[in-house]
Each structure stands twice: as structure tokens, then as C-alpha cells.
């Protein structure tokens, strides 16, 4: 379904990004796999991807750095000649009540979650303009739709990412390029591993489907959005949250 395409996925060494990389590779996409420091995990994901008989290269890069992300985008275009699918997935959380969020925690979250996506879209904009096709998928969060206690920095970054998604969708629609966001709820990854015991139990009890999500719940939607069946969908924010925000 994605045969012959190239997907660049940020933060694909672990968690949701890893699941998206594996599922897109399974659907036939060649994978440019970004991570920031965990080269062992990135290499392990690459080994799994190569079993799907597609190409895969890994790129260590801090996407929040404008020049580094420009260099990586250039390297990916040199290696694969085009990018058809950009998944802005890399993200971090530094949760605290607003009064406990220091300047660094605010800046780091905004710089990686929001500026990082801006950087990647900006550097690959000419690629999408030239190809007159392609899709951008931004991994946002339900926090960006509703706001969330103790996540002022994170929720603001994801709200910004949703606004960025809609703006890019409008700007690139004339070129046949779509841009959508996925807003996951609670997904079991390293990011949420701190939530345990009774706190986790009561959170899960508030989810209508009565379970936390898995990375595969998000990646299946990403594969759909990247495929031809989603070519008339743009500017959307689709929740994958087990009904949490009904």
C-alpha cells in the first residue's frame, strides 16, 4: 500500500515512532529513521525494518536544532532522493504544576515538540512543493485539544502543533500535499512509564474502553493517513484515545 514511497519518521527509535516505522515498512515504505541519542535502539529497529525488504537508514539529529535538522533533511534527500511521508513524532514531556515548570522545561518541550516539527516541515517544504504530492502527519496529543493539569508546557506545544497542522494543510493543499494530526490519549511507552499503581488504575478507569492504548493503535492510523485511501483528508485532528475525550 505504501510501496515505493519514502517515509521520514522523527523519534522512531522507541515507542510510537518505532511502531509507525515498523508498520509503514510492513506496508512497503522505505524508512528514514531519526533519533536523538539512542543508537542501539535505532539500529535494532533498522534490523527489524530490513526484514521487510525495504530500505532503511538511521539519522542521529536533534530536531529542535534548526541547522542540524536542515542537515538531516538534506542527507535524507541525498540518500532517498525524495520524501513522500513526513511523520513529526519526536516529543518529550516535562510535567509539573505550572508554578513548578522552570524556563528550561518550558523551552525544551516547546523546542522539541513544536519548533522541531516546524523545522522539519520548513526544510522539506521545497521537496513537497516540487513533488506536488505527499503527506505530513504530526503526532499531537489530546492535551493539545483540551488542556491538561500539570502539562501547561506540553499542552501548549501540542495545541501549537495542531494550529501548525491546519496552517500547513491550507498552504500545501494546492500542491496536492495533505497534513493531518493524530491526537493520542494515554499510550504505553517510555514516556508514560512513570504512571503506575493506583494513579494509573484510576486514569485507565476514566477511559471508556477501559485500557491504555498501545503504540500499534496509533501506528495503524498513521499508515492509513499515509495511504491513497486518505488522499481527500487534510487539516484533520484524529483522536486515538479509547474514548477519553468523548
* Closest CB 241 distance from ligand NAP, rounded Å: 8
The nearest distance, CB 81 to ligand NAP, in angstroms, is: 23
Among the listed residues 20, 21, 36, 223, the single contact to ligand NAP using CB under 6 A = 36
Q: Rank residues 65 and 131 by Cβ distance to ligand NAP and give the closer one.
A: 65
On whether the CB atoms of residues 222 and 24 are closer than 8 A, the answer is yes
Binding residue for ligand NAP, selected from 7, 35, 59, 221, defined by CB under 6 A: 35
Among 38, 96, 131, 133, binds ligand NAP (CB under 6 A): 38
35 is catalytic: no
Question: Distance between CA 139 and CA 199 in Å, rounded?
Answer: 25
Beta carbon of residue 226, minimum distance to ligand NAP (angstroms, whole number): 16
What span, in angstroms and rounded, lies between the C-alpha atoms of 168 and 96? 31
Question: Which x/- pattern, by CB under 6 A, does the window 151-190 give for ligand NAP?
Answer: ---------------------------------x-xx-xx
In a 10 Å sphere around its CB, with 0-12 CB exposed, 13-18 middle and 19+ buried, how is residue 211 labelled?
exposed
Among positions 126-155, residues that touch ligand NAP (CB under 6 A) are: 139, 141
- Report in angstroms how near the CB of residue 70 gets to ligand NAP at its nearest: 14
What is the C-alpha R_g of the chain? 17
Q: Is the dihedral of CA 216, 6, 138, 9 positive or negative?
A: positive
**Cell output for 190:** 517510555
Which residue in this structure is represented by grid cell 492510523? 221
Distance between CA atoms of residues 1 and 27, nearest Å: 5
| Cβ closest to ligand NAP, residue 38 vs residue 131 | 38
Choosing from 35, 59, 154, 232, which is the catalytic residue? 154
Q: Which of 92, 129, 131 is nearest to 113 (CA)?
A: 92
- 3-state DSSP assignment of residue 132: coil
Cα atoms found within 13 Å of the Cα of residue 9, Cβ hemisphere only: 33
CB closer to ligand NAP, 28 vs 216: 216
Q: How far is the CB of 75 from ligand NAP (least distance, A)?
A: 14
Q: How many residues bind ligand NAP (CB under 6 A)?
A: 32
CA–CA separation, 210 and 181 (whole Å): 24
Q: Do 12 and 89 contact (CB within 8 A), yes or no?
A: yes
- In sequence order, the β-bridge partners of residue 137 are 87, 180
- Span 45-104, contacts to ligand NAP by CB under 6 A: 62-64, 89-92
Among 27, 30, 34, 180, binds ligand NAP (CB under 6 A): 34
**Interaction between residue 112 and ligand NAP (CB under 6 A):** yes
Q: Enumerate the active-site residues.
A: 154
Residues that bind ligand NAP (CB under 6 A): 10-17, 34-38, 41, 62-64, 89-92, 112, 116, 139, 141, 184, 186-187, 189-192
Amino acid at each position: 500500500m505504501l510501496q515505493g514511497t519514502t517515509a521520514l519518521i522523527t523519534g522512531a527509535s522507541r515507542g510510537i515512532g518505532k511502531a509507525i516505522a515498523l508498520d509503514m515498512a510492513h506496508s512497503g515504505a522505505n524508512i528514514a529513521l531519526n533519533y536523538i541519542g539512542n543508537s542501539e535502539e535505532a539500529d535494532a529497529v533498522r534490523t527489524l525494518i530490513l526484514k521487510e525488504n525495504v530500505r532503511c537508514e538511521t539519522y542521529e539529529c536533534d530536531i529542535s536544532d534548526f541547522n542540524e535538522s536542515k542537515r538531516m533533511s538534506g542527507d535524507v534527500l541525498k540518500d532517498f532522493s525524495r520524501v513522500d511521508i513526513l511523520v513529526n513524532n519526536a516529543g518529550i514531556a516535562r510535567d509539573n504544576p505550572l508554578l513548578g515548570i522552570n524556563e528550561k522545561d518550558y523551552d525544551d518541550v516547546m523546542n522539541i515538540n513544536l519548533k522541531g516539527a516546524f523545522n522539519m516541515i520548513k526544510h522539506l517544504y521545497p521537496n513537497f512543493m516540487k513533488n506536488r504530492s505527499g503527506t505530513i502527519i504530526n503526532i499531537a496529543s489530546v492535551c493539545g485539544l483540551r488542556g491538561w493539569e500539570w502539562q501547561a508546557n506540553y499542552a501548549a506545544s501540542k495545541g501549537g502543533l495542531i494550529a501548525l497542522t491546519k496552517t500547513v494543510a491550507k498552504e500545501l493543499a494546492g500542491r496536492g500535499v495533505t497534513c493531518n494530526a493524530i491526537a493520542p490519549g494515554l499510550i504505553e511507552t517510555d514516556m508514560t512509564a512513570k504512571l503506575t499503581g493506583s494513579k494509573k488504575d484510576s486514569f485507565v478507569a476514566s477511559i471508556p474502553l477501559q485500557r491504555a492504548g498501545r503504540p500499534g493503535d496509533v501506528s495503524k492510523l498513521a499508515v492509513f493517513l499515509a495511504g491513497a485511501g486518505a488522499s481527500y483528508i487534510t487539516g484533520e485532528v484524529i483522536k486515538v484515545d479509547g474514548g477519553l475525550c468523548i
